[in-house]
Chains A and B, each alone.
Chain A
């Protein structure tokens, strides 16, 4: 009997203790105290896409480093759905204590909130930092008749011609790119061919089913090296590998640019002390040359941005897309 009681008491004590630890930072309310013992428990980094993409890979590399520097496990959790909307919503609704984060990239920050009715605004979330941005360029087949962007534009502008543009399906950044190009040159004749994304778009171009497309480095760069894809126009602010090949940018030729930022997001109203701890840890991770090298394996443009910079950059992209989305009639309520 005695042992049972003892065990029982010990068990109760352990339970109480663990409950106290678990609720410490959450129920405390005192942000400074919370920041002092942050992180108090394992951190979840939500990737709002299926496993295996470049954002997912970068998140896993980052988590691997954060685990060591923060001294708590960092679990990458894939919550796909709604082109990122479902996973980011999960984090939006989580406790703002720094233990639940999202690695968001591209459309969910800059396009989806403008084209799809969401129950929340991703831009209201706490921007912790940014690890990378996606680069984009316009490609044609290596065997095509168009050697330069001017060739392509001249052909596409002619009456009776129509370019087939391999898109990523739905409405995304690449649709905005083609629309911007068309507007800048005074009208292109083109029609979309919806694909599952960058990899399939490459196949459609190689097979001759599509004429052109705007693609990311992850999907396209290997084919540039083999000569099967010909890059004609860099549409993101920069893409060093293609710039070396003498590919012009859309900014210099046509005055538009496609920004595809990423951001590590936390729920709104994350105490700034905690945000700072996380931002510093992410900066340290990216200063580790080995970590940066692995992230560059995805061919994304890897580089640290502070939370404030990341938010400003995303807002800049968001605003620059608004007139095009409205002109295309793709905005909410149209």
Chain B
């Protein structure tokens, strides 16, 4: 109960008017940063770092943390409304979120994202209060072999995503892997397929790729469709209904669990957990065919996950002083600049600060909810802008966002190339979602695999020696083999039929 009484003291700090204001400012800035493509929470926090020289440490850290979780929600807004994922952590939401918006359910998608974000953030913070030290130990046990096994499991869950054919999905996934090969080899430091280009030394950036594949291709496709005069529903209906809540409850609960669990795993980043949440929801759904056509679980799960992840990633930071993600690493920098050293001693040396920041996670997530539910009505007005005006605006927005990533015209070309690729894929009914997923998971997977083998000196038994990795790999094997019995059954019972084409992007509301 010691933790609870400390938490009460923390609330006394977090609810001071000044600190409340910092949390509010952080939430708003975070949302802005999330809405703007190309500027992520990392840049947002780093730019404001000098500000902490002039503020008191508690207030500034409350604000910087709020930017992080505010950005998680901000990224959702453009994703759902415009199909332009502002952040990687919202990319997967584009699949069903944007479909919902097209079906006139934008308000309900944004609403469920806000509610899920709130629940996820609170659930992970409760975990932080109650079980931070034991979870921190787990974080250290989760090394490269375990991470590899986990990511491999994630990839198997994703196979078959967004397409009627497993083979097409796998082909698309492999294509995605090909796009992440160029760059500097992380182990040897030698350039890999860079063709002498300095821009390619760091590989292709994820943001322009995802904006091209999802956003630009959609605009091109819609413009093309206009000629054949296919109308779409663009009105924005009322907010979250009771039915929405009921349908999403499970996804929100599982998203909270995934985000909280993966937040303590160093090195996984904010995006991969959202993919895993989406894949899990689709796998266990009784109606997987609704995914990709506006399934609310496809929004609720990932959006809950990313906010839960943010709160949970504070656990290794506070208890061990370990940054679980690049954004947290900058937050760690903010501690250090202010003369604070994260780690076990921080709880005893600076209890006011630690518990104040933890309490602010509760307060900030509430602020985010209260701020956003009424704002949804404003956001959906964007959909009322006529397409001839809206589309060029979005395109300008995407070009600007791609340029901002590293202030280079090169990334604008990447955006355009992937926009055309996505457009062609739509015409050919080729799935692009697996491309995007392997682009995110591929580099993580490669690094974990090579690190594991470096640790073991080349022995593959490093994956079997770790019980956690073994369990995860066995699970992956089961997932891969699970469709087999049904397939064999169908093979012998009757000739296999292709399922009807379910990738009509403008399916009417169901």
Name the 3 nearest CB pairs between A and B, nearest first: A170-B189, A51-B46, A82-B201
What are 29 A-B interface contacts by the 8 Å CB criterion?
A: A51-B43, A52-B326, A57-B50, A77-B407, A78-B46, A78-B406, A79-B406, A81-B202, A83-B184, A83-B201, A86-B202, A86-B408, A90-B407, A115-B189, A117-B196, A119-B198, A164-B455, A170-B186, A170-B187, A170-B188, A191-B454, A193-B455, A196-B447, A207-B143, A222-B336, A225-B341, A226-B341, A298-B333, A330-B189
Q: Interface residues, chain A, CB within 8 Å of chain B?
A: 50-52, 54, 56-57, 60-61, 64, 77-83, 85-86, 89-90, 115-119, 162, 164, 169-172, 191-196, 199-200, 202-204, 206-207, 209-210, 218, 222-223, 225-226, 228, 294, 297-299, 330
CB distance from A131 to the nearest CB of B (A): 15
CB pair B199–A218 under 8 Å, yes or no, is: no
What residue in chain B is nearest A117 (Cβ atoms)?
B196
Chain B, 175-225, CB within 8 A of any chain A CB: 184-189, 191, 196, 198-199, 201-202
Instruction: State in angstroms the CA–CA spacing of A119 and B336 once bound together.
Output: 37
CB distance from A158 to the nearest CB of B (A): 16
Q: Which residues of B contact A193 (CB under 8 A)?
A: 451, 454-455
Q: Does B266 sit within 8 A of A, measured CB to CB?
A: yes
CB distance from A169 to the nearest CB of B (A): 5
Q: Does B21 sit within 8 A of A, measured CB to CB?
A: no
User: Contacts A83-B201, A170-B188; is A222 near B341 (CB within 8 Å)?
Assistant: yes
Q: Does B301 sit within 8 A of A, measured CB to CB?
A: no
Q: Interface residues, chain B, CB within 8 Å of chain A?
A: 42-43, 45-47, 49-50, 53, 140-141, 143-144, 184-189, 191, 196, 198-199, 201-202, 266-267, 320-323, 326, 329-330, 332-333, 336-339, 341-345, 406-408, 447, 450-451, 454-455, 457
Partner of B329, one of A192, A199, A206, A330: A199
Q: Which residues of B contact A85 (CB under 8 A)?
A: 198, 201
CB distance from A262 to the nearest CB of B (A): 17
Residue with the greatest number of chain B CB neighbours at <10 A, chosen from A54, A56, A222: A222
Instruction: State in angstroms the CA–CA spacing of A60 and B336 once bound together.
Output: 16
CB distance from B266 to the nearest CB of A (A): 5
Partner of A81, one of B43, B338, B406: B406
With A79-B408, A90-B407, A209-B144 given, name 12 new contacts (CB 8 A): A51-B43, A51-B46, A57-B333, A64-B50, A79-B407, A86-B199, A115-B189, A191-B454, A207-B140, A209-B451, A210-B455, A218-B333
Q: Which residues of A contact B345 (CB under 8 A)?
A: 226
Instruction: State in angstroms the CA–CA spacing of A45 and B188 once bound together.
Output: 31
CB pair A52–B336 under 8 Å, yes or no, is: no
Instruction: State in angstroms the CA–CA spacing of A163 and B321 once bound together.
Output: 25
Instruction: State in angstroms the CA–CA spacing of A78 and B326 once bound together.
Output: 15
CB pair A203–B199 under 8 Å, yes or no, is: no
Q: Which residues of B contact A199 (CB under 8 A)?
A: 322-323, 329, 332
User: Contacts A170-B185, A222-B342; is A60 near B50 (CB within 8 Å)?
Assistant: yes
CB distance from A291 to the nearest CB of B (A): 10
CB pair B49–A52 under 8 Å, yes or no, is: yes
Instruction: State in angstroms the CA–CA spacing of A185 and B266 once bound together.
Output: 35
CB distance from A250 to the nearest CB of B (A): 23
User: Contacts A57-B337, A86-B406, A170-B186; is A192 near B201 (CB within 8 Å)?
Assistant: no
CB distance from B73 to the nearest CB of A (A): 21
What residue in chain A is nearest B191 (Cβ atoms)?
A116
CB pair A206–B337 under 8 Å, yes or no, is: no
Please count the residue pairs between chain A and chain B whose beta carbons lie under 8 angstroms apart in the complex. Answer: 148
Q: Which residues of B contact A51 (CB under 8 A)?
A: 42-43, 45-47, 330
What residue in chain A is nearest B183 (Cβ atoms)?
A82
CB pair A218–B336 under 8 Å, yes or no, is: yes
What residue in chain A is nearest B458 (Cβ atoms)?
A191
CB pair A52–B329 under 8 Å, yes or no, is: yes
CB distance from B39 to the nearest CB of A (A): 10
Residue with the greatest number of chain B CB neighbours at <10 A, chosen from A85, A199, A226: A199
Instruction: State in angstroms the CA–CA spacing of A204 and B447 once bound together.
Output: 14
CB pair B454–A52 under 8 Å, yes or no, is: no
CB pair B457–A191 under 8 Å, yes or no, is: yes
CB distance from B12 to the nearest CB of A (A): 28
What residue in chain B is nearest A291 (Cβ atoms)?
B53
Instruction: State in angstroms the CA–CA spacing of A82 and B50 once bound together.
Output: 26
User: Contacts A81-B406, A194-B451, A207-B143; is A297 near B322 (CB within 8 Å)?
Assistant: no
CB distance from A163 to the nearest CB of B (A): 12
CB pair A56–B46 under 8 Å, yes or no, is: yes
Partner of A204, one of B42, B143, B329, B333: B143
Q: Which residues of B contact A191 (CB under 8 A)?
A: 454, 457
Q: Which residues of B contact A204 (CB under 8 A)?
A: 143
Q: Which residues of B contact A162 (CB under 8 A)?
A: 457
Instruction: State in angstroms the CA–CA spacing of A117 and B408 once bound together.
Output: 20
CB distance from B402 to the nearest CB of A (A): 14
Instruction: State in angstroms the CA–CA spacing of A80 and B199 once bound together.
Output: 10
CB pair B202–A80 under 8 Å, yes or no, is: yes
Partner of A52, one of B46, B199, B344: B46
Instruction: State in angstroms the CA–CA spacing of A116 and B140 once bound together.
Output: 35
CB pair B189–A171 under 8 Å, yes or no, is: yes
Q: Which residues of A contact B189 (CB under 8 A)?
A: 115, 169-172, 330
CB distance from A334 to the nearest CB of B (A): 10
Q: Which residues of B contact A64 (CB under 8 A)?
A: 50
Q: Which residues of A contact B143 (CB under 8 A)?
A: 204, 207, 209
